[in-house]
């Protein structure tokens, strides 16, 4: 009920404020139209008693909230983007550090979480080039020293790996969204759009392909599973279809990104399709190691933050470095 009231009250006025900025207005019109279509479709599935409907609706509601947060960022102050990124990064990092059975001490958790605003500040003030150096100093010097001072040698190597990988994924990788927001906000928005469309459409592509191959053994052989022990339902066929879908969407969005060539858009979309899939699988692998189905319970549908942004952990830094490459 809260979503039905709050989302329209937030989205519609802010969406209309963009009507004098044609590129943003067009992109958000497309986002809202696609999400409205899926929302109606999933609501119909729910009335039909489909078991997958609640999870799909929760995922779709999350995307509605992402649209609302981006609209707030675009129509208020650029610092709002960094604020929202910081909140999501900190929540995702906290979830990730909670995976391992060996709990981190409060000082170590505080140390990890404070890196989120520090790294975002580097990007916000235009010092993104220092972010990799900062990460190296943390991983090579600060974290090992702090683990020694904790005086807990048992499972110290596991805690080191968990902490450093968590910082790499949710502080430094996601932090590049702040750099893109400063330099190329439309590229960041399209990156989010394509990444989330891949996530939202993969279920439907998988269902369609499963129906096609039901009585066609030869088609099943052409659609092998990627990593059945990690995620038994992910297949190469759906991955390829997702890549093709993103490439088609990137071409359709070309007028919104006039500075990027067609060749770049196609390559970038293909990369987002592959990395989005890998991001999903990477965190499925980590959760499976610890016997977890969801990373947490903070998001709609009682799922975690990581469950909603796992693909972005890989697609955002890839987008940043791709745009950096063509600008040099």
pLDDT in tens, 22-56: 999 999 999 999 999 988 988 898 888 888 788 78
Q: Give the containing element (helix H, strand E) for 89.
A: helix 78-97
Residue 286 and residue 245 share a domain? yes
For residue 154, CA distances in Å to 148, 150, 158, 287, 312 come to 11, 11, 9, 22, 33
Residue 97 and residue 58 share a domain? no
Rg of the chain over Cα atoms, rounded to whole angstroms, equals: 20
pLDDT for the residue 292? 81
* Measured distance CA(139)–CA(146) in Å, rounded: 11
pTM of the entire predicted model: 0.91
Nearest alpha carbon to residue 199 among 62, 11, 82, 95: 62
Which of 76, 97, 129 terminates a domain? The answer is 76
Nearest alpha carbon to residue 207 among 235, 228, 177: 235
Left, alpha or beta for 305 (phi > 0: left; psi -120 to 50: alpha)? alpha
Q: What pLDDT, in 10s, does the model give residues 10-26?
A: 888 888 888 889 999 99
Burial (Cβ within 10 Å: 0-12, 13-18, ≥19) of residue 71: buried
Residue 324 and residue 192 share a domain? yes
pLDDT for the residue 25? 94
Residue 255 and residue 224 share a domain? yes
In the predicted model, residues of the chain with pLDDT beneath 50 are: none
pLDDT for the residue 4? 65
pLDDT for the residue 300? 67
Residue 309 and residue 169 share a domain? no
Boundaries of domain holding 264: 184-328
Residue 196 and residue 300 share a domain? yes
Assess contact for 301 and 59: CB atoms under 8 A: yes
Residue 101 and residue 69 share a domain? no
Token output for 47: 């009335």
Which of 156, 183, 210 terminates a domain? The answer is 183
Q: How many domains, in total, are found in the chain?
A: 3
* Measured distance CA(299)–CA(271) in Å, rounded: 27
Residue 67 and residue 154 share a domain? no
Which of 44, 76, 108 terminates a domain? The answer is 76
Q: How many helices (H) and strands (E) does the chain have?
A: 15, 0
Residue 270 and residue 167 share a domain? no
Partners of residue 235 on adjacent β-strands: 225
* Measured distance CA(36)–CA(66) in Å, rounded: 14
Give the CA dihedral 158, 307, 190, 20, nearest 10 degrees. -130
The phi, psi pair for 238, rounded to 5°, reads -65, -40
Residue 188 and residue 170 share a domain? no
Residue 203 and residue 315 share a domain? yes
Residue 326 and residue 192 share a domain? yes
């Amino acid at each position: 009920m809260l979503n039905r009231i709050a989302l329209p009250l937030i989205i519609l006025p802010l969406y209309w404020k963009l009507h004098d900025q044609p590129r943003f207005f067009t992109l958000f019109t497309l986002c809202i139209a696609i999400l409205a279509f899926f929302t109606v479709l999933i609501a119909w599935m729910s009335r039909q008693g489909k078991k997958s409907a609640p999870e799909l609706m929760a995922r779709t509601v999350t995307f509605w909230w992402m649209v609302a947060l981006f609209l707030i960022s675009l129509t208020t102050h650029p610092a709002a983007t960094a604020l929202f990124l910081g909140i999501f990064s900190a929540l995702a990092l906290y979830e990730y550090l909670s995976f391992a059975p060996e709990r981190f001490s409060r000082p170590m958790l505080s140390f990890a979480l404070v890196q989120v605003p520090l790294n975002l500040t580097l990007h916000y003030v235009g010092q993104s080039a220092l972010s990799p150096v900062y990460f190296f100093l943390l991983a090579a010097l600060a974290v090992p020293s702090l683990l020694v001072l904790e005086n807990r040698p048992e499972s110290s190597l596991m805690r080191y790996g968990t902490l450093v990988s968590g910082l790499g994924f949710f502080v430094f990788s996601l932090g590049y969204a702040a750099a893109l927001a400063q330099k190329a906000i439309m590229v960041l928005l399209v990156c989010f759009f394509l990444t989330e469309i891949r996530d939202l459409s993969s279920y439907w592509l998988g269902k369609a392909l499963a129906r096609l191959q039901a009585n066609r053994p030869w088609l099943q052989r052409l659609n092998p599973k990627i990593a059945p022990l990690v995620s038994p339902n992910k297949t190469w066929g759906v991955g390829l279809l997702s890549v093709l879908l993103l490439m088609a969407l990137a071409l359709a969005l070309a007028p919104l990104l006039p500075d990027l060539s067609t060749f770049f858009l196609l390559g970038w979309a293909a990369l987002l399709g592959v990395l989005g899939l890998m991001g999903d699988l990477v965190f499925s692998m980590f959760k499976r190691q610890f016997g977890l189905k969801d990373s947490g319970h903070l998001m709609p549908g009682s799922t975690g933050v990581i469950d909603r942004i796992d693909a972005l952990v890989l697609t955002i830094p890839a987008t940043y470095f791709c745009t950096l490459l063509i600008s040099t």
